[in-house]
Amino acid sequence: MNFLEERIAKDGVVKEGNVLKVDSFLNHQMDIELFDEMGAEFKRRFANENINKILTIEASGIGIACIAAMHFHVPVVFAKKSQSVNLDGEMYVAEVESFTHKCKNQVIVSKKFLSPDDHVLIIDDFLANGYALQGLISIVHEAGATVEGIGIAVEKGFQIGGQVIRNLGYHLESLAIVESMDPAAGTVNFREQD
């Protein structure tokens, strides 16, 4: 197990319905030393990519993206999930629909902050069915920018998001890929990675 898998095994909480709670260190309380280690690992895994901007989505992607940016020395742009009064001017808006929840969400980025010159690393905390990620990719394409890579903290490998993104040919790196969870035993099984 790598450092993040070990932390999930130690402090993650498995609940019924394939729910994995990592709110004590990843997405409500945030362990910044862990984030720093994750940032270094993203830098290692994307060492061959030419990245000049990190794109993430509010709220729980922001911390991971900002600490990772310390390793890449690039600015971060975070997408907003719904129309905000502080966003004026021209915006990229991707409408993403959840197959399971039948709800539509908007992913929004100001046009000022993505251009054809941008080589983007997308970072988020979780990848399950991947609707938010699909919206982010759509916006990068709409801007004429390039998706150089996608870095995820925790991928639910038993849901479809990761497979779709890999089938599409994107360089997707998930630091921990959960294959299965056992809520009775409280255990998490991870996919083997090189």
Residues contacting 15, CB < 8 A, separation 6+? 21, 183
Q: Which two tokens stand for residue 169?
A: 């040919």
Cβ proximity to a copy of itself: between 10 and 21 the closer is 21
CB of 59 to a copy of itself, least distance (A): 4
Q: Is 90 in the site for a copy of itself (CB under 8 A)?
A: no
- Give the integer Cα–Cα distance in Å for 55 and 34: 20
- CA separation, residue 96 to residues 70, 108, 135, 182 (Å): 30, 11, 6, 30
Number of residues that bind a copy of itself (CB under 8 A): 36
Residue 158 interacting with a copy of itself (CB under 8 A): no
- Closest contact distance (angstroms) between CB of 65 and a copy of itself is 8
Q: Binding of a copy of itself at residue 121 (CB under 8 A)? A: no
In SS3 terms, 120-153 reads as EEEEEEEECCCHHHHHHHHHHHHCCCEEEEEEEE
70 binds a copy of itself (CB under 8 A): yes
Using the minimum distance from each CB to a copy of itself, give the nearer residue, 73 or 102: 73
By beta-carbon proximity to a copy of itself, the closer residue of 18 and 191 is: 18
Which residue carries 């000049």 as its tokens? 52
Told to check if 142 binds a copy of itself by CB under 8 A, we report no
- Residue 93 interacts with a copy of itself (CB under 8 A)? no
Measured CA to CA, the distance from residue 26 to residue 92 in angstroms comes to 28
Q: Give whichever of 36 and 142 is closer to a copy of itself, judged by the CB atom.
A: 36
What gap in Å lies between CA 183 and CA 13, rounded to an integer?
Answer: 8
Residue ranges in contact with a copy of itself by CB under 8 A: 21, 23-25, 27-33, 35-36, 58-59, 62-63, 65-67, 69-70, 73-78, 80, 86-88, 109-110, 112-113
